[in-house]
Chain A
Amino acid sequence: METLIKKGAEAEIYLSEWMGRKVIIKKRVRKNYRIKEIDEELRKQRTKKESLLMSGARKAGASVPIIYDVDLSEMKITMQYVEGERIKDCIDDMDGKEQKKVCKKIGEGIASIHKSGIVHGDITTSNLILYKDRIYFIDFGLGEKSSEREKQGVDLHLLMEAFKAAHENEELFNWVFDAYEKNFEWADEVRKKVREIAERGRYMVRE
């Protein structure tokens, strides 16, 4: 039984079962506006890339859903279903001490991902899941292999904006960055980039 739980611009997300486990299936769907040659190649490349980034980030020490299967004929990735709650939905209900703890983990997670030469590309509070004291990073669909400070800055800037838009405690991002700084030697340069990007002022808050 597959249940559609989300329909994005490029992929459909299903909740399903795989060898007795609860899983998420991310399926990149055919787009009929583009010719088959472009469509298939793109979906294949992106499916491959996303699974590589996910396993790369996982190897680097960040919590990322385990990939069970990659199917390049149907362009789908079958991955671990992470129970728990989106940071977006739970952080406002915590007390300051708990928030600080969670933010520290987010910062450490981003640092591990960046250290391994990967950028996530879409770190919003909807793409972070708290489960059993771990912060899971989901949706690497916009990620790439890169160690550019600019792109690392975009990752953090987006999170900063997401916190600013929807959450009350203004300290949240600072706590994330403190932990990031302790775990990533180029954090100073990234901070400069975050400022630069904010000044350009065109990146939009999500949700």
Chain B
Amino acid sequence: MICLGIEGTAHTVGIGIVRDRPFGILSNVSSMYRPPSGGIHPRDAANHHASVFTDILQKALERANIKFNDIDLVAFSIGPGLGPCLRTAATAARSLSLYLKKPLIGVNHCIAHLEIGRAVTGASDPVLLYVSGGNTQVIAFMNGRYRVFGETLDIGIGNCLDKFGREAGMPFPAGPKIEEIARKGRKYVGLPYSVKGMDVSFSGILTAAINSLKRESMEDVCFSMQETCFSMLTEVAERAMAHTEKEEVLLGGGVASNERLRNMVRKMAEERGAKFYCPPGELLVDNGAMIAWTAILMKKSGIEMDIDETAIKQNFRTDEVDVTWRH
């Protein structure tokens, strides 16, 4: 089965073409919207997605070296995400599905991060630490569903870093720049460490970090912010592992590109005698391949969707999905 998957939940629109047997990501093309200044306006991001869509579609087909008719299944990110972006991806997917006369499946974006991680790293039953701009969740499989064991109570970790970066005059996305500057930090500047059970919260750290820029060096603040936020994330991931008695931890989401976060989670896993997994960068960030692959799993387990079931779900929760493809 060959599936074309369209990702479009936030700033990135991507198309991935995946084959199940033998497993292969035939192509995975994406384009990220970068606002000229400030944050992401959902409508501007959606306009960007629409304007580059045919271009990346062509590239995806070329790189996969297949024709339209080779596609057996069309998939798209049905949620959660920004409304205008979701609608753009959904509309494109519906048109393709109708045009090709092939079935259409809407995929939960967060679950797709987990499934592609399992597919390419060899993790079988991991706790996923999913860290991106809008989403920060600790997810694991239990009783037929992917349950959210912990999550952010306010903003996503990526959003926290981006907002700090904006205040500090860095371009979007700020994560890579903060990571670079943080390497030169030496002194730990106290920031509020906010873990509640298995949940985290970042808005207090954001405010405190911005305020401390008045007194402390940029290097030390970036360093301290990373240390605080990532320690929190590692701690809740560990708690979820202890709680669910799972012995694998998997990273997903763009923030997992950060070396320091990876090292912390790797170290935590080591000390627990657990296994650490992290997919390659292009599959960490939002991408079409993860949507395509998850749709294949869903389709093979018997899921079908009528066109009227493909309405987008901006607040689609991870644990709403009946995971028919796992037992």
Q: Are A38 and B242 in contact (CB under 8 A)?
A: no
The closest CB in chain A to the CB of B267 belongs to: A33
Q: Which residues of B contact A122 (CB under 8 A)?
A: 197
Known: A202-B148, A206-B243. A33 touches B193 (CB 8 A): no
CB of A32 closer than 8 Å to a CB of B: yes
Known: A121-B197, A142-B197, A202-B148. A34 touches B238 (CB 8 A): no
CB of B275 closer than 8 Å to a CB of A: no
Known: A142-B197, A202-B317, A204-B147. A33 touches B241 (CB 8 A): no
Q: Which residues of A contact B265 (CB under 8 A)?
A: 33
- Over the window 227-261 of chain B, the binary record of Cβ atoms lying under 8 Å from chain A Cβ atoms (1 yes, 0 no) is 11001001100110111000000000000000000
The closest CB in chain B to the CB of A154 belongs to: B197
CB of A42 closer than 8 Å to a CB of B: yes
Q: Which residues of B contact A204 (CB under 8 A)?
A: 142, 147, 149, 243
CB distance from B119 to the nearest CB of A (A): 25
> What is the CA–CA distance of A121 and B198 in the complex, to the nearest angstrom?
11
Within 186-202 of A, Cβ neighbours of B (below 8 Å) are at: 201-202
The closest CB in chain B to the CB of A9 belongs to: B242
CB of A19 closer than 8 Å to a CB of B: no
CB distance from A79 to the nearest CB of B (A): 21
Q: Which residues of B contact A38 (CB under 8 A)?
A: 188, 193, 227-228, 231
CB distance from B251 to the nearest CB of A (A): 14
> What is the CA–CA distance of A8 and B272 in the complex, to the nearest angstrom?
10
> What is the CA–CA distance of A79 and B99 in the complex, to the nearest angstrom?
70
Q: Which residues of A contact B228 (CB under 8 A)?
A: 38
CB of B167 closer than 8 Å to a CB of A: no
> What is the CA–CA distance of A166 and B114 in the complex, to the nearest angstrom?
29
> What is the CA–CA distance of A10 and B195 in the complex, to the nearest angstrom?
13
CB of A133 closer than 8 Å to a CB of B: no
CB of A167 closer than 8 Å to a CB of B: no
CB distance from A164 to the nearest CB of B (A): 13
Q: A-side binding surface: helix, strand, loop or mixed?
A: loop
CB of B319 closer than 8 Å to a CB of A: yes
Q: Which residues of A contact B306 (CB under 8 A)?
A: none
CB of B264 closer than 8 Å to a CB of A: yes
CB of A83 closer than 8 Å to a CB of B: no
Q: Which residues of B contact A37 (CB under 8 A)?
A: 188
Q: Are A42 and B193 in contact (CB under 8 A)?
A: yes
CB distance from B237 to the nearest CB of A (A): 9
Q: Are A33 and B231 in contact (CB under 8 A)?
A: yes
CB of B268 closer than 8 Å to a CB of A: yes
> What is the CA–CA distance of A9 and B317 in the complex, to the nearest angstrom?
26
Q: Are A10 and B317 in contact (CB under 8 A)?
A: no
Q: Which residues of B contact A8 (CB under 8 A)?
A: 242
CB of B309 closer than 8 Å to a CB of A: no
> What is the CA–CA distance of A37 and B243 in the complex, to the nearest angstrom?
27
CB of B271 closer than 8 Å to a CB of A: yes
> What is the CA–CA distance of A10 and B231 in the complex, to the nearest angstrom?
13
Q: Are A202 and B243 in contact (CB under 8 A)?
A: no
> What is the CA–CA distance of A206 and B142 in the complex, to the nearest angstrom?
11
Q: Which residues of B contact A1 (CB under 8 A)?
A: none
> What is the CA–CA distance of A206 and B227 in the complex, to the nearest angstrom?
30
Q: Are B239 and A9 in contact (CB under 8 A)?
A: yes
CB distance from A41 to the nearest CB of B (A): 8
Within 90-139 of A, Cβ neighbours of B (below 8 Å) are at: 121-122
Q: Are A31 and B268 in contact (CB under 8 A)?
A: yes
CB of A5 closer than 8 Å to a CB of B: no
> What is the CA–CA distance of A202 and B140 in the complex, to the nearest angstrom?
12
> What is the CA–CA distance of A202 and B153 in the complex, to the nearest angstrom?
13
Known: A202-B319, A206-B243. A35 touches B227 (CB 8 A): yes
> What is the CA–CA distance of A110 and B243 in the complex, to the nearest angstrom?
23
The closest CB in chain B to the CB of A8 belongs to: B242
CB distance from A26 to the nearest CB of B (A): 15
Which residues of chain B have a CB within 8 Å of any CB of chain A?
142, 147-149, 188, 193, 197, 227-228, 231, 234-235, 238-239, 241-243, 263-265, 267-268, 271, 317, 319
Known pairs A34-B227, A38-B228, A204-B243 / 8 extra A-B pairs, C-beta < 8 Å = A9-B238, A9-B239, A31-B271, A33-B234, A33-B267, A121-B197, A201-B319, A202-B319
* A-B complex: 5 closest residue pairs judged by Cβ atoms: A9-B242, A34-B231, A33-B267, A37-B188, A33-B264
